[in-house]
Homo-oligomer: A and B are copies of this chain.
Amino acid sequence: MFDSPDSGRIPAPAATPDSSDTTRERILTAAMEEFALHGIAGARVDRIAKLARTSKERVYAYFRSKEALYTYVATRELSVIAEATQIDPSDLPGYAGRLFDYFTARPDHHRLLAWGRLELADTEAADSDPTRAAITRKLTQLRQAQQAGQLDPAWDPADILALVNQIATTWAAQPELTRAATEHAADSTTAARRTAVVTAVEQLFPRAP
């Protein structure tokens, strides 16, 4: 269900390898924007093609279907996030802060993933193989940190990962409470919201001494 573009159809013959690569990248950038705004069902391949300065046919030449394009973009985004935020089981508060920063700077990236959770629910495409592998790797890292005495072994690694992710995205995921905080919090800055998130993770999963 994860459609590798390399194993897919061949790009239009007129394109040189270099110009193909740029077109493909432009399609991915345009797709990210379109999917973040409208979701999978709401996205229009002709808008993606227009934004990428290419044709609808060309988009389908690289990516079999709209759904395959979404899965490719979302899977790549998850690996970009993992790379940018680097889970560190001995410093989960630091990791939560990096996740908070990532999504604060890129609310559209949070939306991109949120659509998939709703629209692909209970389909085979809901978890791409790379995503499942990434989760399994993180669980192993957490388990090893517990064995090394860096993390309380009383928690199940699955609970730790789910709680840290969830707490880190407290504000990205609840726009209605972000608006309420702007109006009602004593300190309504983003820095104050970040401190709350990092403090919560620190209290639950303290940094290793």
Write the residues of chain A forming the contact surface with B, with a CB cutoff of 8 angstroms. 38-39, 41-42, 111, 114-115, 117-119, 121, 126-127, 131-132, 135-136, 139, 155-159, 161-163, 165-167, 169-171, 173-181, 184-187, 192-193, 196-197, 200, 203-204
Q: Which residues of B contact A163 (CB under 8 A)?
A: 167, 170, 196-197, 200
- Whether the pair B200, A204 counts as a contact (CB closer than 8 A) is yes
- Whether the pair B196, A177 counts as a contact (CB closer than 8 A) is no
- Whether the pair B135, A158 counts as a contact (CB closer than 8 A) is no
Give complex CA distance A203, B167 in Å. Answer: 14
**11 A–B pairs (Cβ distance < 8 Å), ordered by A:** A39-B118, A115-B118, A126-B175, A127-B179, A131-B176, A156-B186, A157-B184, A158-B180, A158-B185, A163-B170, A203-B203
Dominant secondary structure of chain A at its interface with chain B: helix
Give complex CA distance A102, B156 in Å. Answer: 23
**Which of A155, A181, A186 has most chain B Cβ within 10 Å?**
A181
- Whether the pair A162, B171 counts as a contact (CB closer than 8 A) is yes
What is the minimal beta-carbon distance from A197 to any residue of chain B, in angstroms? 8
Q: Which residues of B contact A175 (CB under 8 A)?
A: 117, 121, 126
Give complex CA distance A135, B162 in Å. Answer: 25
Q: Which residues of B contact A179 (CB under 8 A)?
A: 126-127
What is the minimal beta-carbon distance from A37 to any residue of chain B, in angstroms? 9
Q: Which residues of B contact A132 (CB under 8 A)?
A: 176, 180
Asked if A162 meets B184 with Cβ closer than 8 Å, knowing A114-B114, A121-B111, the reply is no
- Whether the pair B196, A181 counts as a contact (CB closer than 8 A) is no
What is the minimal beta-carbon distance from A129 to any residue of chain B, in angstroms? 12
**A-B contact sample (19 more), CB < 8 A, given A162-B174, A163-B167:** A41-B42, A111-B118, A114-B114, A114-B117, A114-B118, A117-B174, A121-B175, A135-B180, A136-B184, A156-B181, A156-B186, A156-B187, A157-B184, A157-B185, A158-B177, A161-B180, A162-B177, A162-B196, A173-B173
